Amino acid sequence: MPRGNITVSTISGEAYELTDRNSPDILDPINSVKDHSFLNKVTPQDKGRMAEHWRQYGSGNITPGNDDQAFEQFRDSIHNGDTLVFLQSSELDAAAVNSQVGSSETSTNSQMTAGTESPRVQTTAPSKKRKCADTPEEERVVKKLKKHRAGNQQIKAGDRHWHLPEDKSIDDLPQSDDVGDRLQELTTAAAKKWNKNKNLSINEQEAIQEAIEEKEYWRANLLEKQAKGRWVENQVKKATESMQMNLKWSKRGVDVTDMNTGIKYDILSGTSSNIDLHAKRMSDELFRIITF
């Protein structure tokens, strides 16, 4: 099976991530796409990329230059479950984002500059709304990352990653977010200190070992990721308490709320599949995504 992952597109505009089943980046295979009919619509260019990826990382003897044979073996690895598929985006999603923000660009990584004439987006907000000020308002740059089918979306404002519910816009983002910046610093620092040989509890070690013995490697990876997430969050919580930050921590829903501003934060591993899962679970919440 191929190591790592590769993202491919179809002629109808969908983008799919193909990932080794045992990759540590997989949160849960339950979220993978079970309908593999998209393989019949992969663009010729990406079909060639899949073939090259399989020749580099896959198994079996492939005749040099035989893209069809390599592609078919890659296809078989998807059908038999060795490679998992995750939907990343679709042409419909991108169009919905562009329609909402008023941009004519179709790339999910395109940039929007506020406060200029059409077709640039005008995002100057009334005084009652919070504004993002990573750059001066008239030059504010926002990057749209993803539009989910529920209408919620992921936005990058400066270096800050936000989740917006359907009924909110970039005008609802705070002008400054020192608390969030501090949480990100603490989270990054805690994640660098993580050592599974030292920080896993006995119960966590036993659960992971049991999954390995049952050859459920995806579950072992998931359990380790969950354990790391709990440990990192606990370290950040201890640090904020020692700093007497006025935060409310919750075991359900969004992790942290700044009691002074009402801004919410969610601390999580920064894989695309995990961020998407949290966005789907909390589609009606506006929160900043704090990653490690």
The tens digit of pLDDT for each residue in 82-109 reads 888 877 654 444 444 344 444 333 334 4
Could you tell me the pTM of the whole model? 0.58
Query: Using one digit for the tens of pLDDT, what is the confidence trace for 11-34?
Result: 777 777 888 777 655 555 666 778
**For the chain, how many residues are written?**
292
Transcribe 114-144 into DSSP letters.
SSSSTTS---PPPTTS----SS-GGG-EEEE
Domain ranges for the chain: 5-89, 91-172, 178-291
Distances 65 to 7, 48, 60, 228, 236 between C-alpha atoms, Å: 21, 10, 14, 43, 52
Q: Which two tokens stand for residue 277?
A: 């899962």
Owner of token pair 């990329």: 49
Report the pLDDT value the prediction gives residue 156, as an integer from 0 to 100: 92
Tokens of 192: 């660098």
pLDDT of residue 4: 59
Express each pLDDT in 214-227 by its tens digit. 888 888 888 898 89
Report the 10 Å Cβ neighbour count for 288. Answer: 25
Tokens (6 digits) for 61: 């003897």
Mean pLDDT to the nearest integer, 197-217: 92
Residues 141-182 pLDDT 10s? 788 899 898 899 999 998 899 999 999 999 999 989 999 999
Over the chain, what is the mean pLDDT?
78
Q: Which of 106-120, 184-198, 267-281 has the lowest mean pLDDT?
A: 106-120
45-49, 154-158, 186-190, 255-259: range with lowest mean pLDDT: 45-49
Give 63-105 as a DSSP string. -TT-HHHHHHHHHHHHHTTSEEEEEEE-HHHHHHHHHHHT---
What pLDDT is stored for residue 216 in this prediction?
83
| pLDDT attached to residue 236 | 97
